[in-house]
Amino acid sequence: MALIIASAGLDDEDFLAAFGSCALPPSSFRHDDHLRLAWLQLQRNPLDEALKLVRNGIQKFAAHNGVPDIFHETVTTAWVRLLSTHRESNFAEFIAMNEYRLNQALLHRFWTPSLLNSEEARRGWVPPDREALPN
């Protein structure tokens, strides 16, 4: 299934500003926009700082929009760590090269669905139970 980047009409700086100020409509922050956020933070910051900015940003955005329970710690951390292993020159190139695998099936390569969907994984980092994430 083709990725749909709902925030594609915004350049990177405007997207980050709208997201950070919670001015971005929730309809413009779908899975693919989460990936964009992670990609941009990883381009600007070391992994640990990028993860912190993505985590805190999503939690703030979710709370602001009245849906704090949508945040999933293990899924967020997994995607940031997976994106950190890529070296494409920009987000468009990253999507073009990897679109077919940027879905939940990729995470199920590392986690069983039951563990990934657990409340423990939602609330805190749970290491993969199938295969270690790449470095």
Report the pLDDT value the prediction gives residue 1, as an integer from 0 to 100.
59
Report the pLDDT value the prediction gives residue 134, as an integer from 0 to 100.
93
CA 63 to chain centre: 17
Q: How far is CA 54 from CA 57, 81, 104, 129, 131, in A?
A: 5, 11, 19, 24, 24
Q: Tell me the mean pLDDT in the region 103-111.
A: 95
Report the pLDDT value the prediction gives residue 22, as an integer from 0 to 100.
97
pLDDT > 70 fraction of the chain, expressed in percent and rounded: 99
Q: Rg for the chain (alpha carbons), in Å? A: 14
| Segment 12-49, tens digit of pLDDT | 999 999 999 999 999 999 999 999 999 999 999 999 99
| Segment 67-84, tens digit of pLDDT | 988 899 999 999 999 999
